Amino acid sequence: MSSLLSISDIKEDVGNIIDLAIRIKAGNVEDKPLEGKTLAMIFQKSSTRTRVSFDVGMYQLGGRAIFLSSNDLQMGRGEPISDTAKVLSRFVDGIMIRAIEHIDVVELAKYSDVPVISGLTNLEHPCQALADMLTIKEHFGSFENKKICFVGDGNNVCNSLLLIAPLLGMDMSVACPKGYEPNNEILKTACEYAGENNTEIIVSDDLKIALDDVDIVYTDVWVSMGDEAEANQREMDLSPYQVNKELMDLANENAIFMHCLPAVRGQEVSADVIDGLQSVVFDEAENRLHAQKAVLYYYLK
């Protein structure tokens, strides 16, 4: 059964899923395509956008979603992930999971007879990247000659953006201090995709190099869920990478600012940037709904 754990799982279909999201957002799909279908949603970590957009998305497509906090599942008391996957597969048509460890989602998908969709792990956040690309396409009309720069901690969100950008023909740079580079395996795969699509990937600790000719400046929190013990060190190391007016001035004049949210104003982004005219963060958040409806249609229909 095919699942969405990584952007690599939809390597050939990324553009089609974004176009489907555009059609769904415009109301150009049949009524209630997922009537009678149920999505189980397992959360091992907090969520606002992912939880609500998947729930509302299933409802709008004619199906329903069941929220399952891992603390309340037998899984939280040690029932094997493999048994959980086999049992849920007998009841529901798809499983969405936000997990602490990526390997647990791989295990769930291995034993599941229904599609598994990742709603974030320590390694990737594929649904976020799809919503981000939908937002970029809406804003600029196409991906052609566009360059995105991720600034800060080379985390799960950065990893999924690195994989998706070259597949859509975009250049990508990452501006991060030493020690905060994106996952090495993902970077290797992203560079392969860039080679296949004639695009460029740069990772640099030099803001001027990374932000040269950039159309989209993207950042995320310095302290991701699970990194709380390192909060002080991270704030010290990442403070030169705050996205503020001065940093935005290194990008192109018409550049937009993006953030997956939740954001910490005064840390990774200044309030005047995230609340300013260049920011598209709330369009981006709304697009989680439309992009995920496309994912649900694609996997569950």
Binding site for ligand CP (CB under 6 A): 47-50, 120, 128, 260-261
- CB closer to ligand CP, 255 vs 260: 260
Asked if 159 is part of the footprint of ligand NVA (rule: CB under 6 A), the reply reads no
Catalytic residue among 49, 55, 260, 267: 260
Residue of 120, 153, 159, 135 whose CA lies nearest to 268: 153
- Decide if 259 contacts 26 (C-beta within 8 A): no
Residue 259 known to be catalytic:
no
Query: Nearer to ligand CP by C-beta: 47 or 135?
Result: 47
Please report how the helices 184-196 and 156-167 are oriented relative to each other, as an axis angle in degrees rounded to 10. Answer: 10
Contact 298, 14 (CB under 8 A): no
**Sign of the Cα pseudo-torsion (229, 77, 50, 182, in order):** positive
Name which of ligand NVA, ligand CP, none residue 156 binds, using a CB cut-off of 5 to 8 Å depending on partner kind.
ligand NVA
Return the residue matching tokens 């995709």. Answer: 193
220 included as an active-site residue: yes
224 binds, among ligand CP, ligand NVA, none (CB under 5 to 8 A by kind): ligand NVA
Q: Are 174 and 210 in contact (CB under 8 A)?
A: yes
Kindly identify the residues of this chain, within the stretch 101-120, that bind ligand NVA according to CB under 6 A: 120
Exactly one of 55, 93, 128, 158 is catalytic; name it: 128
48, interface contact from ligand CP, ligand NVA, none, CB < 5-8 Å by kind:
ligand CP
Among 60, 197, 224, 252, binds ligand NVA (CB under 6 A): 224
Cis before 126 (ω within 30):
no
Annotation says 283 is catalytic? no
Ramachandran quadrant class, 105 (left: phi over 0; alpha: psi -120 to 50; beta: rest): alpha
Handedness of CA 55, 263, 156, 163 (dihedral sign): positive
Per-residue three-class SS string for 92-110 = CCEEEEECCCHHHHHHHHH
Binding mask 247-286 for ligand NVA (x = CB under 6 A): -------------x--------------------------
Q: Which does 220 bind (CB under 5 to 8 A by kind): ligand CP, ligand NVA, none?
A: ligand NVA
CB of 119 to ligand CP, least distance (A): 7
Pick the binder of ligand NVA from 93, 220, 268, 284 (CB under 6 A).
220
SS3 221: coil
Tell whether residue 151 is a contact of ligand NVA (CB under 6 A). no
Contacting residues toward ligand NVA, per CB under 6 A:
120, 155-157, 220-221, 224-225, 260
